[in-house]
């Protein structure tokens, strides 16, 4: 509950029983090699627990178990109404453990407890419940075939899916993958990010308790380059669903081509434009512009990192945004008032600090932040930071920083704003702020991204698809459209005598 104080959360953390073993065929096991690696709390660098370091030999056992279950059909062919009940029970169990799970996610990722409790955990619950509820309400198709024929078009599970996810929203991204993959009857092998495996390991046990058969969900923590690659090149895995960086996404496409052409769906990076016209509600737009970049410390694929402002309001608007940025100074994630926590680790902090240097060298003007703070904590906390006088060709405008760094650009016509917004290798998300319905719609339609907000940022829920254009990916999470990534269409053509 949010009425808990920082001391309450700290004492709950001290008595938390943390599971770090892999989850294979319905039980927790160590890696066959016995190897493990430590996972740390980004808030202070303290070791949380040792986590199984799975390797290809563990993957073999997991794939075999997942395949056997799929072939037996005890999950794939279970009546949809029964699969639904398993997922709904799973969602209920997660909800029952919301406080513990929110705490675990906060400790593992360095996310503010208010976010994990109010957003990450409820989002996972809703995703799993919604996908479960949907699955016994979806009909297949009959084609308009000639009268002496009957043609059935059915959606069948792919088989064994590998889901590989990043560290920035471990629980909610995991739910976005697992819910539709399991609802459609697949067996799934989940590889969490090396540094944030704990919430996935926690909810795997709850899935078993809810009645998910052994082998339907395997959770293998381990390194991307060995374990992840092994899954992506495996000849007995039928599909990959991935969220992560664009360079790794490109490798996964290659691995698919080099192995068995497994279906490969990717949710990748972004450099999203947030366009503000002079006639917008500027107070609201400024507040959301700060949220768009500083939420989750900017470690968000959809972060609105390019703030594209109409030239004539630049100074006025920048002042509003700077005032809002001051509310985002980082703090202890277990303090319920903290809005922004630390960077996930030292490497990510150094990437962010490096880009602050790049911005300065490129001639942009640092008007807020730019420094490490709270270094005595042992965590890597970075101030919310704003560059103005940015040109869209600068590296800080083109490259994904994945930290709390905003680039402010200006435009003088709607066409110029759209051209600038689209001048990016990415196409994940964006927003436009204007009280003129024509301007807002025209600009929203012209920006080539998977999700566009009008007078909001981060809008959307489980009912709408989420994914990228261009090098932001090809798959779609959420909504009924997500089911496409986990199923094959099968035609059965019947002729009557």
Could you list the residues that contact ligand NAD (CB under 6 A)? 164-169, 191, 193-194, 224-225, 228-229, 232, 243-245, 248, 251, 267-270, 301, 400, 402, 428, 468, 472-473
Min CB(256)–ligand NAD separation in Å: 11
Rounded Cα distance between 77 and 268, Å, is 32
Q: Does 319 participate in catalysis according to the annotation?
A: no
**Residue 267 a catalytic site member:** yes
The smaller minimum CB distance to ligand NAD, of residues 213 and 468, is found at 468
CA distance 53 to 80: 35
Furthest-apart CA pair in the chain: how many Å? 82
Alpha carbon 183 to its chain centroid, in Å, reads 19
Q: Which is nearer to ligand NAD, 314 or 382 (CB)?
A: 382
Residue with smaller CB distance to ligand NAD, 175 or 268 = 268
Token pair 């503000």 in the structure block, residue: 276
Catalytic residue among 105, 267, 310, 383: 267
Contacts of 86 (CB under 8 A, 6+ apart): 78, 132, 207, 210, 211, 212
Between 191 and 262, whose beta carbon lies closer to ligand NAD? 191
CA distance 30 to 301: 32
DSSP 8-state code for residue 213: P
CB of 315 to ligand NAD, least distance (A): 31
Alpha-carbon distance 123 to 211, whole Å? 21
Q: How many helices (H) and strands (E) does the chain have?
A: 16, 23
Q: How far is the CB of 485 from ligand NAD (least distance, A)?
A: 12
Min CB(243)–ligand NAD separation in Å: 5
Least Å from the CB of residue 229 to ligand NAD = 4
**Closest by Cα among 91, 93, 115, 92 to 103:** 115
Complex with ligand NAD: residue 12 or 251, whichever CB lies closer = 251
What is the distance between the alpha carbons of residues 327 and 171, in angstroms, rounded to a whole number? 26
Catalytic positions are 267, 301
């Amino acid at each position: 509950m949010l009425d808990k104080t920082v001391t309450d959360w700290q004492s709950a953390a001290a008595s938390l029983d943390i599971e770090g073993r892999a989850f294979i065929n319905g039980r927790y096991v160590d890696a066959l090699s016995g190897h493990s690696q430590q996972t740390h709390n980004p808030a202070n660098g303290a070791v949380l627990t040792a986590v199984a370091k799975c390797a290809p030999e563990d993957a073999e056992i997991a794939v075999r178990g997942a395949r056997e279950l799929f072939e037996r059909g005890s999950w794939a062919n279970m009546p949809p109404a029964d699969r639904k009940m398993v997922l709904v029970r799973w969602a209920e169990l997660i909800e029952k453990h919301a406080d513990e799970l929110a705490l675990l996610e906060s400790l593992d990722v360095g996310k503010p407890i208010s976010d994990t409790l109010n957003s990450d955990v409820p989002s996972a619950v809703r995703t799993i419940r919604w996908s479960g509820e949907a699955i016994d309400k979806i009909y297949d198709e009959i084609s308009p075939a000639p009268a002496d024929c009957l043609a059935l078009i059915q959606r069948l599970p792919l088989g064994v899916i590998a889901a590989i996810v990043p560290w920035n929203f471990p629980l909610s991204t995991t739910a976005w993958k697992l819910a539709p993959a399991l609802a459609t009857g697949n067996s799934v092998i989940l590889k969490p990010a090396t540094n944030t495996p704990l919430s996935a390991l926690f909810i795997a046990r709850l899935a078993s308790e809810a009645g998910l058969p052994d082998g339907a969900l395997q959770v293998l923590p381990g390194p991307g380059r060995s374990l992840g690659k092994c899954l992506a090149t495996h000849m007995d895995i039928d599909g990959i669903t991935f969220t992560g960086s664009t360079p790794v996404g490109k490798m996964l496409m290659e691995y698919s081509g080099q192995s068995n052409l497994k279906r490969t769906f990717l949710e990748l990076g972004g450099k999203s434009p947030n366009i503000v016209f002079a006639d917008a509600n500027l107070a609201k737009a400024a507040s959301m512009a700060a949220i768009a970049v500083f939420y989750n410390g900017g470690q968000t694929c959809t972060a609105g990192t390019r703030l594209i402002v109409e030239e004539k309001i630049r100074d006025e608007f920048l002042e509003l945004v700077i005032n809002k940025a001051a509310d985002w100074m980082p703090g202890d994630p277990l303090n319920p008032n903290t809005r922004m926590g630390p960077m996930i680790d030292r490497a990510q902090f150094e990437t962010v600090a490096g880009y602050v240097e790049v911005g300065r060298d490129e001639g942009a003007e640092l008007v807020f932040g730019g420094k490490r703070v709270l270094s005595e904590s042992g965590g890597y906390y970075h101030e919310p930071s704003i560059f103005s006088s940015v040109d869209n060709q600068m590296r800080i405008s083109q490259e994904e920083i994945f930290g709390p760094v905003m680039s402010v650009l200006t435009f003088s016509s709607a066409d110029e704003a759209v051209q600038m917004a689209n001048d990016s290798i990415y196409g994940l998300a964006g927003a436009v702020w204007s009280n003129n319905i024509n301007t807002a719609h025209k600009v929203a339609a012209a920006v080539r991204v998977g999700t566009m907000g009008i007078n909001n940022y981060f809008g959307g829920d489980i009912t709408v698809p989420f994914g990228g254009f261009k090098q932001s990916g090809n798959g779609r999470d959420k909504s009924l459209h997500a089911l496409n990534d986990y199923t094959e269409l099968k035609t059965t053509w019947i002729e009557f005598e």
